[in-house]
Amino acid sequence: MSEVAKAPQTLESVTIRFAGDSGDGMQLTGTQFTETSAVMGNDLSTFPDFPSEIRAPAGTLAGVSGFQLQFSSQEVHTHGDAPDVLVAMNPAALKVAVGDLKENGIIIVDRDAFTDKNMNLAGYESDPFSDGSLAAYRVFDIEITKLTLNAIQELGLPQKQAVRCKNFFALGTVYWLFSRELQYTESWIESKFGAKTPSLAKANKLALNAGYNYGLNTHIFPNNYVIAQAPVEKGLYRKVTGNEAVGLGAVTAAELAGVELFLGSYPITPASEILHFLSHQRHLGVKTFQAEDEIAGICSAIGASYAGAAALTTTSGPGLALKTEAMGLATILEIPLVIVNVQRGGPSTGLPTKTEQSDLFQSLFARNGDSPMPVLAATSPGDCFWATIEAFRVALRYMTPVVLLTDGYLAQGSAPWKVPQISELEKIPVEFATDPEGFQPYARNEDLSRPWAIPGTPGMMHRVGGLEKQNITGHVSHDPANHQVMSDLRAEKIRKVQDMIPATEVYGDADAKLAVVGWGGSFGAIRGAVDHLRAQGVKLAHIHPRFLNPLPKDLGEILAGFDRILLPELNMGQLAYVLRANYGIEVARYNKLEGKPFKEAEIVTAIRAQLEEMG
């Protein structure tokens, strides 16, 4: 019976992976743990990992769905390298995930799922619990299914429904292990099931409590743990994924600009959630248009921008490839448009559900003719909000299409995000041309930006198009000298975007010999690695430009100040190529193409290797 347990041990950071069959509810379980930990004041970062098959055969390795999070009493940059704890709901999940686990890590399995059939499906030839293959870990095999059924027996639910409560039992046990409060998940269960299916609400709550009490009462775990609150700024927080943050950023940007938002998009993994999110904002006047293809996605956005919208199109790599001709049109039309590319593994269909940073070249160069375009990248799920606003700010100020690069990791990962007050954010100035007196469609202001004269404005009728324009008048022109002038103007306008790029931040030791340079979603792993080594006394700098075109004015000089630059990228060296082209510098490359984000430890190793070489 219950007695006073040993005092819980305090940990700074813990990484947990919940893994199970696609139908085992692991995403939900991980999300509940995340939300509870967030309310309890930890900083955290999450990343779901699910198969690209919607319903892979049950019990197979292909059907394993995982959710990993790191929660901490300190600032968190990534979802954690190697899990400290693995919750595996079936043999396939154990087999897929165990290799990532830390040595001496905790494995919690549902013993009842380890039937001969499931072991066969997972390809286990011998019993992992007795063949010594798990000797490096602390294994807790719990009869989760049986204990769940016992706990909710009194409700008389059909067997199939009852079994499905087992993830809450597992969650309860992990809640005990890390001293989480049950109330947040209990109230979520109540709001989710309470009204429609009160018996399911009751069953899930019973299972959750039974799992918790199992940890508390059985003493199979030597002790449990506490993770103190992280020192975070005061304020209202919410959890956002990168895709949600892009949606929130777009709505906010339109508000700041005083124009209406239009999204033209075609469903594609892993960008579709932006389309879903914005489709739910009709009450704010947001217009979303699910187009017949990627081309129509961007073209409809161009048509809306032409009529005065804050226009957005969203896609992923193969979709961006289809949009390239229209991106050229938007370039020569000189109209504002934000193109969000949630990068995934390529080429071609590649790895649809996996992350990569390999569309930098495509974003910078993949258009016919000289067709310069600003390119920005977001660094974290929450930063997707700020990067989206920035992309609109550039698009609307310079009357240009802008590419915003996020990636599958940022898009699906989540982190706590401090909700800003819109009233405190800088407005995005927008001025429509309304005066017919002397109106010229391709006259330019000091930013080299042309006027936005939208259909419906009296006296402002004019024609635009994909044919080369005569400077100022915008009439069709095949004049050779004019083409040079217009090409120069389009290039110079994009160069002028540098005017709004703030001074490049050099994080860490400005006098370090080695700087780690990164872009986009590798921010967290690099920052974590740099912090880790600096805490050990290593002098290091971290530079992470948001703008990849144009590059910040001061970047070349800053990079030249270091003896060596290490550039980790989830591609074959695309930014390294760009830096060499722009500054003639050769960087040390660290490239990975495994469909997975960098681990901090990988960056740490890469930095150490550089430092060793440098002596």
Partner 1 sequence: MSNYPIFEPTDPSGLTRKSFVSNQEVRWCPGCGDYAVLASVQKVLPELGIPQEDFVFISGIGCSSRFPYYMETFGMHSIHGRAPAIASGTKAFRPNLNVWVMTGDGDGLSIGGNHLIHAIRRNIGLKIILFNNRIYGLTKGQYSPTSEMGKKSKSSPMGTVDYPFNPISVALGTGGTFVARTMDANPKHMQEVLKAAALHEGTAFVEVLQNCVIFNDGAFTDVTSRQSRGENTLDLVDGKPLLFGNKNEKGIILDKKMRPQVVKVDEVGLENILVHDADNEAMAFMLSHMTIPNHPVPMGVFRSVARPSYEQLLEDQINTAKAKKPNASVQSLLESGYTWRVE
Determine if 485 is a binding residue for partner 1 (CB under 8 A). no
Find out whether 490 and 539 touch, Cβ atoms under 8 Å: no
Determine if 301 is a binding residue for partner 1 (CB under 8 A). yes
Determine if 443 is a binding residue for partner 1 (CB under 8 A). no
- Residue 399 DSSP label: T
Of the pair 443, 464, the CB lying nearest partner 1 is at 464
- What is the rounded distance in angstroms from the CA atom of residue 444 to the CA atom of residue 427? 22
Find out whether 519 and 565 touch, Cβ atoms under 8 Å: no
| 3-state SS assignment for residue 401 | strand
Contacting residues for 603 by C-beta, under 8 A, at least 6 apart: 516, 525, 526, 528, 529, 530, 568, 590
- What is the rounded distance in angstroms from the CA atom of residue 159 to the CA atom of residue 148? 11
One of 25, 91, 264, 508 touching partner 1 (CB under 8 A): 264
Determine if 8 is a binding residue for partner 1 (CB under 8 A). no
Determine if 284 is a binding residue for partner 1 (CB under 8 A). yes
The least CB distance from residue 150 to partner 1, in Å, is 31
One of 180, 239, 367, 546 touching partner 1 (CB under 8 A): 239
One of 6, 10, 198, 432 touching partner 1 (CB under 8 A): 432
One of 131, 181, 293, 370 touching partner 1 (CB under 8 A): 293
One of 78, 173, 243, 252 touching partner 1 (CB under 8 A): 252
Handedness of CA 519, 322, 345, 49 (dihedral sign): positive
Of the pair 31, 522, the CB lying nearest partner 1 is at 31
* CA 445 distance to own-chain centroid: 36
The least CB distance from residue 307 to partner 1, in Å, is 4
Find out whether 127 and 94 touch, Cβ atoms under 8 Å: no
Total residues at interface with partner 1 (CB under 8 A):
77
99: which strand partners?
A: none
Determine if 303 is a binding residue for partner 1 (CB under 8 A). yes
- What is the rounded distance in angstroms from the CA atom of residue 560 to the CA atom of residue 404? 27
* CA 52 distance to own-chain centroid: 17
- Residue 280 DSSP label: T
- Interface of this chain with partner 1, residues 315 to 344, rule: CB under 8 A: 325-326, 328-329, 333
Find out whether 290 and 265 touch, Cβ atoms under 8 Å: yes
Determine if 419 is a binding residue for partner 1 (CB under 8 A). yes
**Which range, of 132-140, 342-350, 354-362, 430-438, touches partner 1 by CB under 8 A?**
430-438
Determine if 181 is a binding residue for partner 1 (CB under 8 A). no
- What is the rounded distance in angstroms from the CA atom of residue 413 to the CA atom of residue 416? 11
Determine if 371 is a binding residue for partner 1 (CB under 8 A). no
One of 103, 426, 431, 437 touching partner 1 (CB under 8 A): 431
Of the pair 126, 473, the CB lying nearest partner 1 is at 473
- Interface of this chain with partner 1, residues 189 to 208, rule: CB under 8 A: none
| 3-state SS assignment for residue 138 | strand
Of the pair 264, 528, the CB lying nearest partner 1 is at 264
Contacting residues for 216 by C-beta, under 8 A, at least 6 apart: 2, 5, 176
One of 283, 438, 481, 535 touching partner 1 (CB under 8 A): 283
One of 8, 352, 466, 556 touching partner 1 (CB under 8 A): 466
Which runs of E-coded beta strand occur in 57-161?
A: 64-72, 85-88, 106-110, 138-142
- Interface of this chain with partner 1, residues 99 to 118, rule: CB under 8 A: none
One of 232, 472, 538, 601 touching partner 1 (CB under 8 A): 232
Determine if 291 is a binding residue for partner 1 (CB under 8 A). yes
Determine if 462 is a binding residue for partner 1 (CB under 8 A). yes
Find out whether 145 and 113 touch, Cβ atoms under 8 Å: yes
The least CB distance from residue 559 to partner 1, in Å, is 36
| 3-state SS assignment for residue 345 | strand
Lay out the site mask for partner 1 across 35-54 (x = CB under 8 A, - = otherwise): x--xx-x-------------
Instruction: Report CA-CA distances (Å) from 352 to 61, 275, 408, 599.
Output: 18, 17, 9, 20
Determine if 430 is a binding residue for partner 1 (CB under 8 A). yes
One of 11, 163, 366, 464 touching partner 1 (CB under 8 A): 464
Burial class (CB in 10 A: 0-12, 13-18, 19+), 531: middle
Determine if 365 is a binding residue for partner 1 (CB under 8 A). no
Of the pair 358, 412, the CB lying nearest partner 1 is at 412
The least CB distance from residue 349 to partner 1, in Å, is 20
What are φ and ψ of residue 309, in 5° steps?
A: -90, 155
